[in-house]
């Protein structure tokens, strides 16, 4: 399992992977719940209703006002996180010195899974290409091993329809969760953003790692090249010098649309280049989420 | 277009090099497994059209840069002056060839070819670029348009032979213009090969205004002048100015021969052998030259004048121009020149004196005849009749007309009084008096009674001040005005009538009329007119080749049988029916004055004229200019265009920049993501 770097994990373990919105967990955990619970953190008073547990009755208030008020506390719950990893053939791409996009995605997913399980959160995996393979979220060590195994056995191949896959995923997982999508997102930005919107509709905390190789941005070829589509084998012979300007325009337009759409739908968007350190990317990701979580009231 | 390095033609294939490299580059593509086809397909679709256009333009510029570079290496030549107009060959090319005596000067380092030969070679070479044109040759002697198929034939044609004549360039232009007006070609060029001798061009003549106006009125007519002028060398020229036999008073067949000889040194000094031939006998003497021009009067005793007269020639050694190394003369019993002044006015004496000032010379006399005694006129003996008075009777007018048509000169002076008629269609306006003297503003210094002297000095016509004048005119439009007053009224007008001439002067040589009678103009004018009228009594013994024309049917043969000569344009001594005439090159051909290209252009303002100077320093096959510098400039231009296009974004589709600076979203290595 070369996608696990224990040193990195050890350093990242000092940080907590937080969510930006309250979660609906099954057990007590580190994250704010959407319901009231039994934590030590006071939430609010409400009028007593028959059937309420009397131990939450505030007698002092009763003594002063002669009225029954129930004290409520915040609930802490665990987190269910779905890591959605693109395993289509385009994930095999890598320029000269970089690891493949899939390797990068796998490192991100494995590290995140390890951190989440070890902070008591449940982690599930959806690896998709032409078809999606799901691993339901659990927070046990045995589940984590199964998670790793699935990642290790995954081979990038086939042609993915990421938009349809995300729509299907949204319909399948309706209870709110942290959804982390790791992909190259080579699809129409409008359609992708629709899928993100669909996921946000079910109140998922959506984080996106958009993996790009530097060469895919720079397009710095000097000779005519026959480009072969890694997913469907279609090819195109062209002189990069001729279309470089137009290519960069297309990339810039695409990235601008993605960034703008994600900001609009409150998607935690991370454009990540494969030559960046994945530890740095994750650190940035986690710190940012912690800040956002505190702003959210916790 | 021809090429000095035609073998380089093969290199033209290199023009395809940029295209081949481009194709090879396209074929030598590498295959890349690519994920971001989404962007690639979008970019390819957006950029292909304009990018391909840009690519093709780049290829074109590269190919053209190589093409012009190789073209320059081939050293192409075009008729710089012919090929200047890219519109193709004109329909008609009128070739005007100056084959005057001065064109026989040898030029070049080897001194092999004369300017005329060079001109023919240059014209022949230049004509190769105008194969579709009709060539019409006009040379300076006959001035008859002659269509030729190939200008090369000029070298062997009679019309291209050397002559001892002068060239009248304005007259040649007139002939060319008349030909073009008559034939109305769609486009035409006039090529003139000339040494730009000032006397031939007559650049001071007012004719040029009319010629220019007529040329400018022609459609699409270009003039190319091949300037064959050259720096003055050390050429010697010799000329007999006059040859006069002065008979002994006791024995008319004996006497002395007086020859006025002029030698132009042309920068040479020293002693040169002078070969003298007289009546077939040849002798040699030394000619010492230590000044630019040497004039001398040689006197020879004639023991017995040959029947019909004698002849002779002077010859100098061969030098730059052979045509001016020989000069001819004839001599014979002088014919008395008599003038009659029909007048009863006081100025008649001055006129008679001006015509024959030397009373000791019996061969030049002038008699005053009162108008009432015209029956005393000895018509057959007269060379000139001066008329000052009322119009003659019809019978007398008829006699005057016959006199003029037979070669005599009739000169009319005003008598004062009211307007009226004079002889031979002359009309007089009323006499005018003025306090501010009338002055003569312009006069013909090249030809006629007021022309410069043999020495080149102008007559002081401008100094004449008249307090009275009576303007005389000659009916008809063929009259030539030899002098005009400041207000444009004619002072002296002449017209040819048959073989003779009639002149009318607007001033009487009377002191009451002004200073005209002082003689400084009147004297040479009357003597010239008397000599001119003398041709009626005896054919000239000395004439200029080209100017003198034998009468139709007369066969004149050279007395020197060793050389083929044509009396129409060759110098020499010719004989016909016992008469001799010596023809020499015109005096103007010895003139060392030339005009320059700028002066030629000034003569014809507004005309599409180009003067090609310096052609004598080239060989004939190099008349056509090399245009490789132009090709290099074109190469540079295409390289600059290629560079500008390659670095330009003009043909790349530009979209408005996104609000978010996305470039910032592509952080450099090791930077954190968004």
Same fold? B92-232+606-623, B337-534: yes
Q: Which residues pair with B272 in a beta bridge?
A: B287
Query: Is A122 within a domain?
Result: yes
pLDDT digits (tens, 9 = 90+) for B284-323: 988 888 888 888 888 889 988 888 889 999 999 888 888 8
Cross-chain residue pair B26–A246, CB shorter than 8 Å: no
The answer to whether residues A12 and A73 belong to one domain is no
Instruction: Name the closest residue on chain B to residue A186, using Cα atoms.
Output: B38
Contact B129, B1 (CB under 8 A): yes
Q: How many CB pairs under 8 A join A and B?
A: 166
Query: Is A36 within a domain?
Result: yes
Q: Which residues of chain A have pLDDT under 50?
A: 297-298
B23 part of contact set with chain A, CB < 8 Å: no
Distances (CA, A) of B335 to A212, B12, B30, B191, B298: 121, 78, 109, 46, 21
Cross-chain residue pair B51–A243, CB shorter than 8 Å: yes
Cross-chain residue pair B669–A245, CB shorter than 8 Å: no
pLDDT digits (tens, 9 = 90+) for B135-158: 999 998 888 999 988 888 888 888
CATH number (2.60.40.10, 3.40.50.620, 3.30.2230.10, 3.40.190.10) of B237-334+539-590 reads 2.60.40.10
The answer to whether residues A40 and A132 belong to one domain is no
pLDDT digits (tens, 9 = 90+) for B97-139: 999 998 988 876 666 788 888 888 888 887 877 777 889 999 9
The answer to whether residues A68 and A182 belong to one domain is no
Architecture of domain B337-534: 3-Layer(aba) Sandwich (3.40)
Quote the pTM value: 0.50
Query: Is A295 within a domain?
Result: no
Query: Is A294 within a domain?
Result: no
The alpha-carbon gap from A2 to the nearest alpha carbon of chain B, in Å, equals 21
CATH topology of domain B92-232+606-623: Rossmann fold (3.40.50)
Contact B274, B318 (CB under 8 A): no
- Nearest CB to B660: which of A221, A229, A259? A259
The alpha-carbon gap from A186 to the nearest alpha carbon of chain B, in Å, equals 6
Query: Is A1 within a domain?
Result: no
Judging by beta carbons within 10 Å of its beta carbon (0-12, 13-18, 19+), is residue B146 exposed, middle or buried? middle
What is the arithmetic mean of pLDDT over B461-475? Answer: 91
Question: Confidence class of residue B661 from pLDDT cuts 50, 70 and 90?
Answer: very low
In a mutagenesis test of the A interface, which of B41, B43, B653 is the best target, namely the one with the most A β-carbons within 10 Å?
A: B43
Residue B428, pLDDT > 80, answer yes
Is ipTM > 0.95 here?
A: no
- Nearest CB to A280: which of B46, B653, B672? B672
Judging by beta carbons within 10 Å of its beta carbon (0-12, 13-18, 19+), is residue B69 exposed, middle or buried? buried
Query: Is A297 within a domain?
Result: no
Instruction: Name the closest residue on chain B to residue A160, using Cα atoms.
Output: B35
Residues of B in contact with A254 (CB under 8 A): 38-39
Q: Which parts of B248-392 are beta strand (E)?
A: 255-264, 270-278, 281-289, 293-302, 310-315, 326-331, 337-342, 364-369, 382-387
Residues of B in contact with A253 (CB under 8 A): 655, 658, 662
Cross-chain residue pair B31–A275, CB shorter than 8 Å: no
B653 part of contact set with chain A, CB < 8 Å: yes
Q: Which residue has the higher pLDDT, B535 or B324?
A: B324
pLDDT digits (tens, 9 = 90+) for B565-592: 888 888 999 988 888 899 999 888 888 7
In a mutagenesis test of the B interface, which of A90, A245, A281 is the best target, namely the one with the most B β-carbons within 10 Å?
A: A245
A238 part of contact set with chain B, CB < 8 Å: yes
In a mutagenesis test of the A interface, which of B36, B41, B660 is the best target, namely the one with the most A β-carbons within 10 Å?
A: B36
Residues of B in contact with A231 (CB under 8 A): 35, 37
pLDDT at B387: 92
In a mutagenesis test of the A interface, which of B662, B664, B667, B670 is the best target, namely the one with the most A β-carbons within 10 Å?
A: B662
pLDDT digits (tens, 9 = 90+) for B197-206: 998 998 888 8
B56 part of contact set with chain A, CB < 8 Å: no
pLDDT at B660: 42
Would you kindly state where each structural domain of chain B is located, as residue ranges?
2-78+628-655, 92-232+606-623, 237-334+539-590, 337-534
Question: Confidence class of residue B250 from pLDDT cuts 50, 70 and 90?
Answer: confident
The answer to whether residues A257 and A271 belong to one domain is yes
Residues of A in contact with B33 (CB under 8 A): 92-93, 228, 230
Cross-chain residue pair A226–B46, CB shorter than 8 Å: no
Cross-chain residue pair B34–A272, CB shorter than 8 Å: no
Cross-chain residue pair B674–A259, CB shorter than 8 Å: yes
Query: Is A25 within a domain?
Result: no
Residue with tokens 């349809």: A164
Instruction: Name the closest residue on chain B to residue A272, using Cα atoms.
Output: B673
Domain end position, chosen among A59, A77, A95: A77
Q: What's CA A130's distance to the chain center, in Å?
A: 20
Average pLDDT, chain B: 83
The answer to whether residues A71 and A212 belong to one domain is no
Judging by beta carbons within 10 Å of its beta carbon (0-12, 13-18, 19+), is residue B376 exposed, middle or buried? exposed
Contact A129, A194 (CB under 8 A): no
Contact B230, B198 (CB under 8 A): no
The alpha-carbon gap from B671 to the nearest alpha carbon of chain A, in Å, equals 7
- Domain span including residue A246: 6-18+79-289
pLDDT at B669: 43
Instruction: Name the closest residue on chain A to residue B54, using Cα atoms.
Output: A242
pLDDT at B658: 45
pLDDT at B663: 40
Q: Which residue has the higher pLDDT, B426 or B27?
A: B426
- Nearest CB to A260: which of B26, B660, B671? B660
The count of structural domains within chain A is: 2
DSSP strand pairing (B426-428 vs B113-114): unpaired
Cross-chain residue pair A225–B653, CB shorter than 8 Å: no
Instruction: Name the closest residue on chain B to residue A252, using Cα atoms.
Output: B662
Query: Is A83 within a domain?
Result: yes
Q: How far apart are the first and last CA of chain A?
A: 36
Nearest to B514 by CA among B469, B471, B465, B462: B465
The answer to whether residues A68 and A134 belong to one domain is no
**Could you tell me the CATH number of the domain that includes residue A170?**
3.40.50.410
Question: Looking at chain A from residue 202 to 231, which residues have their Cβ under 8 Å from any Cβ of chain B?
Answer: 212-214, 216-217, 221, 223-231
């Amino acid at each position: 399992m070369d996608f696990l770097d224990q040193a990195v994990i050890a350093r990242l373990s000092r940080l907590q992977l937080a969510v930006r919105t309250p979660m609906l967990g099954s057990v007590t955990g580190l994250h704010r719940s959407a319901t009231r619970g039994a934590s030590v953190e006071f939430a609010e008073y409400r009028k007593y209703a028959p059937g309420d547990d009397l131990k939450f009755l505030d007698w002092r208030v009763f003594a002063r006002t002669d009225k029954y008020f129930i004290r409520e506390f915040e609930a802490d719950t665990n987190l269910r996180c779905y890591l959605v990893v693109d395993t289509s053939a385009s994930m095999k791409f890598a320029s000269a010195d970089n690891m493949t996009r899939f390797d990068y995605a796998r490192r991100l997913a494995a590290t995140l899974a390890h951190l989440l399980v070890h902070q008591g959160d449940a982690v599930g995996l959806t690896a998709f290409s032409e078809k999606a393979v799901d691993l339901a979220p659990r927070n046990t060590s045995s589940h984590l091993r199964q998670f790793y195994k699935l990642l290790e056995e995954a081979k990038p191949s086939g042609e993915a329809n990421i938009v349809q896959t995300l729509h299907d995923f949204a319909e399948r997982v309706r209870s709110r969760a942290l959804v982390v999508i790791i992909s190259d997102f080579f699809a129409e930005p409008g359609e992708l953003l629709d899928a993100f919107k669909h996921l946000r509709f079910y109140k998922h905390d959506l984080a996106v790692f958009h993996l790009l190789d530097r060469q895919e941005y720079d397009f710095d070829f000097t000779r005519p090249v026959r480009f072969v589509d890694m997913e469907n084998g279609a090819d195109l012979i062209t002189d990069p010098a001729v279309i470089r300007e137009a290519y960069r325009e297309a990339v810039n337009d695409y990235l601008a649309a993605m960034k703008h759409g994600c900001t609009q739908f409150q998607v935690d968007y991370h454009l990540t280049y494969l030559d960046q350190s994945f530890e740095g990317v994750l650190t940035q990701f986690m710190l940012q989420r912690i800040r956002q979580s505190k702003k959210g009231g916790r | 277009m021809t090429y000095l390095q035609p073998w380089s033609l093969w290199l033209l294939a290199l023009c395809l090099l940029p295209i081949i490299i481009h194709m090879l580059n396209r074929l030598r593509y590498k295959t890349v497994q690519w994920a971001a086809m989404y962007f690639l397909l979008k970019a390819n679709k957006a950029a292909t059209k304009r990018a391909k256009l840009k690519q093709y333009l780049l290829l074109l510029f590269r190919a053209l840069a190589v093409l012009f570079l190789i073209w320059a290496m081939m050293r192409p030549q075009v008729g710089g002056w012919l090929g200047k107009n890219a519109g193709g060959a004109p329909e008609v090319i009128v070739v005007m060839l100056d084959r005057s005596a001065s064109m026989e000067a040898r030029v070049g380092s080897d001194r092999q070819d004369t300017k005329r030969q060079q001109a023919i070679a240059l014209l022949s070479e230049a004509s190769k670029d105008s194969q579709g044109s009709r060539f019409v040759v006009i040379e300076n002697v006959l001035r008859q348009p002659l269509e030729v198929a190939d200008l090369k034939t000029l070298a062997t044609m009679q019309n291209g032979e050397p002559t001892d004549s002068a060239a009248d360039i304005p007259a040649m232009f007139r002939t060319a213009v008349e030909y073009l007006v008559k034939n109305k070609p769609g486009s035409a060029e006039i090529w003139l090969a000339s040494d730009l001798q000032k006397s031939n061009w007559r650049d001071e003549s007012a004719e040029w205004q009319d010629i220019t106006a007529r040329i400018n009125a022609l459609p699409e007519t270009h003039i190319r002048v091949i300037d064959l002028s050259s720096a003055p060398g050390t050429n010697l020229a010799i000329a007999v100015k006059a040859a006069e036999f002065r008979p002994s008073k006791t024995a008319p067949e004996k006497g002395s021969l007086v020859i006025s000889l002029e030698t132009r040194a042309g920068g040479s000094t020293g002693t040169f052998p002078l070969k003298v031939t007289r009546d077939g006998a040849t002798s040699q003497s030394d000619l010492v030259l230590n000044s630019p021009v040497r004039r001398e009067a040689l006197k020879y005793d004639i023991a017995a004048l040959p029947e019909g007269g004698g002849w002779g020639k002077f010859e100098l050694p061969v030098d730059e121009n052979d045509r001016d190394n020989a000069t001819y003369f004839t001599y014979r019993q002088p014919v008395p020149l008599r003038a009659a002044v029909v007048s009863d006015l006081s100025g008649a004496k001055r006129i008679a004196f001006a015509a024959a000032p030397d009373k000791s010379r019996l061969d030049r006399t002038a008699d005053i005849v009162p108008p009432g005694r015209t029956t005393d006129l000895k018509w057959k003996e007269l060379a000139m009749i001066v008329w000052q008075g009322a119009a003659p009777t019809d019978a007398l007018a008829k006699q005057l007309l016959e006199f003029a048509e037979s070669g005599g000169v009739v000169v009319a002076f005003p008598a004062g009084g009211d307007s009226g008629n004079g002889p031979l269609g002359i009309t007089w306006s009323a006499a005018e008096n003025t306090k501010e003297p009338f002055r003569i503003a312009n006069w013909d210094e090249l030809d006629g009674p007021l022309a410069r002297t043999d020495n080149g000095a102008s007559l002081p016509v401008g100094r004449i001040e008249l307090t009275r004048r009576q303007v005389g005119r000659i009916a008809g439009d063929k009259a030539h005005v030899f002098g005009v007053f400041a207000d444009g009224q004619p002072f002296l007008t002449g017209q040819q009538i048959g073989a003779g001439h009639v002149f009318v002067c607007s001033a009487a040589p009377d002191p009451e009329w002004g200073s005209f009678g002082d003689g400084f103009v009147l004297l040479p004018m009357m003597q010239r007119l008397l000599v001119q009228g003398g041709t009626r009594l005896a054919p000239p013994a000395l004439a200029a080749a080209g100017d003198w024309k034998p009468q139709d049917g007369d066969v004149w043969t050279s007395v020197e049988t060793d050389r083929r000569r044509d009396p129409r344009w060759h110098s020499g001594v010719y004989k016909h029916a016992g008469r001799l005439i010596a023809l020499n090159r015109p005096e103007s051909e010895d003139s060392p004055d030339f005009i320059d290209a700028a002066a030629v252009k000034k003569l014809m303002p507004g005309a599409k004229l180009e003067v090609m100077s310096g052609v004598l320093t080239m060989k004939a096959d190099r008349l056509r200019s090399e245009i490789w510098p132009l090709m290099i400039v074109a190469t540079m231009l295409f390289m600059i265009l290629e560079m500008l296009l390659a670095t330009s974004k003009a043909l790349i589709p530009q979209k408005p920049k996104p609000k978010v600076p996305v470039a910032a979203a592509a952080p450099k290595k090791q930077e954190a993501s968004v």
